[in-house]
Structure formats: structure tokens, C-alpha cells
Chains A and B, each alone.
Chain A
Amino acid sequence: MSPAAAAPDTGGHRGPYVDPVLYDIVYSWYDADLAFYVELAKRSAGPVLEVACGTGRILLPTRAAGVDIDGIDLEPAMIERLRAKAAAANLSVDVAVADMRDFTRPRRYALITIPFRAFMHLKTTEDQLRALRCIRDHLEPGGALVMNQFYPSPRFMAEHDGKRTCDREFQHPDDGTRVELWDLSRYDRVNQVTTVEREVVRTDAAGARHTLHRYTFTLRWSYRFELELLLEAAGYRHWEVRGGFDGRPLERETDEMIWTASPD
């Protein structure tokens, strides 16, 4: 996941994507989507492209499973770290720094994915349409786009707006010390934008707390029918949405939306 907007909107703090080591620590606990995307790629009839591949959290295990997968990401530092991790694992990868709204790859893909809510970095309808069209142009006949994202439920917004809460607590991957993510989220309900001020706090072996990092990021959410209209306007003809990585129907506003869309 990396920012689609080139201009930093971090209010003076640098976002998580310029520090890929920290990024990998912050999301070291997360793997809920991994099996889904790896299995999807393994079943693909042709080459796979991962859009906003970051440091390779999904791309590298997919490549290690023998899949012909390429990747793009907007942030050079993320791609650099992906390449270093690939080299260390002795994996050959074809990844590039590119903007999902406007990229050109030499080949076409049977499957293009945007995992981990990265589509939510696109802040305007115009940016969303540019990305969806550019991806459509890179699909083989019969190919499909698969992406997942969410929107904050009314209850979640009502309970969390403007409140600083510890959203996640996990063990540091290097030494097992406790790391906490403290988030203060604000919701612009008509512009559909969440602004998160995040503080990453580590407690060392002696019990002292250290702030590792502070950064601000924004996510632009889209509702279900809005996404259907975006897909239609971008030239897709068939789509389906599921309510979780296990394939259950989308029924609740707290469900993750898993989209599959095809231009044919």
C-alpha cells in the first residue's frame, strides 16, 4: 500500500511509505489477505500484476510459490526494499516504480490485483477512473481486476471520530518488545475521507515507552454502489463483490468488500 497522490498530505510528518523498514514493522502482524491473494494468483491462467505492491508482503510469497507476478508501486523506497528482500530470498522479480493512475507495462495480465485497500489512496473520482481504465488497458482478454477495500460504518464513525485509541498491539518482529499503534481518526462524511494521525509506540525491555514514529495518512472511501458506477464508467462490464476473503456475501457495513471486475 503506498500513496497514490505524489504530493505529501502528511501535515509536516512524513508518511509511512518513505520508511519501508518501519512500514514492515507496522504491518508485521497482518496476514488476513495473504492466502487469498496467493491462491488467486496461483490459479491465474496467465501473468499477474500487483498494483501498489509495497515491500512485497504479498508479491514475494506469491513469487516464491512459482507465480509469474510483476509489481508496481508509487514509492521508490518501497520498491527498493522489495528488491532487497527478493535478492535476499534469491527470487527474481520484475517490479517498477509507477503510478496506478498512469502506468505502461510491456505486457498484458490475466490478473491484476490492488490488495490492502490501496485503491483508497486515490482521492478523487477522476483519479479512481484513471486507475481503473489504466488497469483495464493492461488486462488480457478474459482477464480480471481483483481488489479489496472498506468503508467506515456509521457506528464506527460515531464511536471513533476524534478519539485517540490504541488500534493495534503486537510484538516487534525483531525482538518481541511491545509495539502499539495509537490512532486518532477524523471522518469527513460527505467527502468520504478519513484522516488518521498515527503514533507508533514501542515499549523496551526495561518498560520505557518510545515513540518510533508519527505520521498522518488519509483514506478516501467509496460505497458499494459508487464502486459499481466507477467500474461501469471505466469500461468494465461484469463485476461481483463479496463480503470477505472467505467469499461470503456482502451483507454488513462492517464487511470488507472484495471486488472482481472484468471488461469482457
Chain B
Amino acid sequence: MDREPGLTPSPYDAPDLYDLIFESLQFDVPYYVAQGRVANGPVLEVACGTGRVLLALLAAGVDADGFDLSEPMIERLREKAAERNLPARVSVADMRDFTLTRRYARAFCAFNAFAHCDTIDEQLRALRCIRDHLEPGGALVIHMSYPSTSLWLGTDGEPVFELETPHPLNDHRLQMWDTRFKNIVEQRQRSEVELRELTAGGDVVDRTRFETTQRWIYRFEFELLFRLAGFARWEIFGGFEHEALERDDQQMLAWAWRD
């Protein structure tokens, strides 16, 4: 997660742009809101970003706290919470080493945020730290994309069109292009992301570049991480309906219980 100086900036340094692309994503929000409502205790969102999920939890009346490594992201979350008159208890913290005073019935780590843990050591430190913040009977829920054959065999080193969304402030469009560099043995993907702003006529009027790294996890590897971090039991689902994980093009929803 630590960034070397001189590299392209992290997308998390520009939360307004991040939100232009990602804020409208809803695919996972109803799941977390539903799980938060039946959590029977407070909820912690690990790596809550600008609050895409956390603000929805708060709006639904869930007692939810959150933290993120990026100060700019947390600042933007606070602004959005204030605009919506939602009480946001959030802080800047590192999932590998954080201390909060409360204990939680559920901890959520959404949208591949756990892929920012780059090594086994970082993964285990984060899992142990999260486990220490769970109440007895509490559970951690992590959503990660499965590292599929098609991910690994996808184009390397050339910009690939990822998504397009209307610009919320004018008649322009925003496009996200992703140039990936993958290492299958290291289970690592480095992405050079370019955001393009296009006029209605298709002229590119602005380009912003970011860089991110993701460290993917396979199923049995995930189970061993939970075991080594001290979780008592775990279950790996194949999606938000808790369907069985059977194919590598499914999403991976990992539940791990403290006790």
C-alpha cells in the first residue's frame, strides 16, 4: 500500500474524480444495507472510501463506523455526510494496524479493498486487527473478485476500455481506460488508469492518470488466511445471493466468524 515517490498519483488522492466514476455503483449496496440491518450490533466498514456504502448504511439507520487509509477520501465522505445531515463517525486509519474503542458485530470490506494488502504479512496483520475489533460472535465480510482465467489472459500493457458514465455536471462523458500489467505467479495486477473526459462530439478534453496495485486471492488461500489470523470458521460464497462458488467468473464473498 505504501507508495513510492514520483509515481503517478493514487486514485484516492482525487476523491471528487473517484466519485464521478464510482459513486453511482449500486450492485453491492443493498446487500450491505440488508446485512447491516440484521447485524444485531454496530458495523464497521474497513476502507470506506468516500462513503458509497457507509452513507447508505447510515441513511438506512444502521449504527455504522468507518475508516480509510486516504485522508482526502475521508474528507470527502465527511462533506457528503454533512450535506445529507448524516452523523458520520469516520477516521483515517490503516487496516493493517488500527485501534478503535468500539467492538463490532460485523466488519465489511467491500469492492476489492482487501486487494490493497500486498503481502501475506499485510493480509494477516489486517485480518488479525479486524478480528480484534469484532464482538464475540461477530463476523467479517470481504468482497473480492475471483482471479479468473479471463483476468489473467486479458490484454497486458495496452489500454482496455473499462466503463463510461455521463459527467454529472455537464453534457460530457467520462471514460475509464485501464492498462494492466499482471504477474500470475505473484497474483498481482498493476493498473495504470486513465480517466478521459469527452465532449458530446467525442473529443477528449481532459485526461487524468492514476495507478493502483491489486493482490488477488484464491479460495483455499483465503481460508488459510482466516485460519492463520485466528478466525474460528469461514464460508466463501460465489456472490451476493450467497450462491455456491463454482466458477471463476463469479464474485467471491468471504465470511469469517470470530468464534
Contacts and interface: CB of A to CB of B under 8 A. Distances in A.
Interface stretch (B43-51, B78-86, B128-136, B221-229): B221-229
Interface in B164-220: 184-187, 217-220
Contacts of A191: 219
Nearest to B224: A229
B185 A250 contact: yes
A253 B228 CA distance: 26
Interface string B220-257: 11011101100000000010000001111010000000
B18 interface: no
B149 A226 contact: no
A226 B218 contact: yes
Contact of B224 (A224, A226, A251, A253): A226
Given A232-B228, A233-B228, A125 B149 contact: no
Contacts of B152: 154, 253
Contacts of A70: none
Contacts of A255: 185
A254 to B, nearest CB: 9
B153 A125 contact: no
Given A189-B248, A250-B185, A251-B185, A158 B220 contact: no
Which of A228, A229, A233 gathers the greatest number of chain B CB atoms within 10 Å? Answer: A229
A216 interface: no
A230 interface: yes
Contact of A225 (B120, B153, B227): B120
Given A222-B220, A226-B221, A226-B224, A190 B248 contact: yes
Contacts, number: 63
Contacts of A125: 220, 223-224
A190 B247 CA distance: 6
B148 interface: yes
B146 interface: yes
Interface string A204-241: 00000000000000000011111011101100000000
A253 B185 contact: yes
Given A223-B221, A253-B185, A228 B149 contact: no
Interface of B: 120, 146, 148-149, 152-153, 184-187, 217-221, 223-225, 227-228, 238, 245-248, 250
Given A190-B219, A190-B248, 20 more contacts: A125-B220, A153-B184, A190-B146, A190-B245, A223-B187, A224-B185, A225-B187, A226-B218, A226-B220, A226-B221, A226-B224, A228-B120, A229-B120, A229-B228, A230-B224, A233-B227, A233-B228, A250-B185, A252-B184, A253-B184
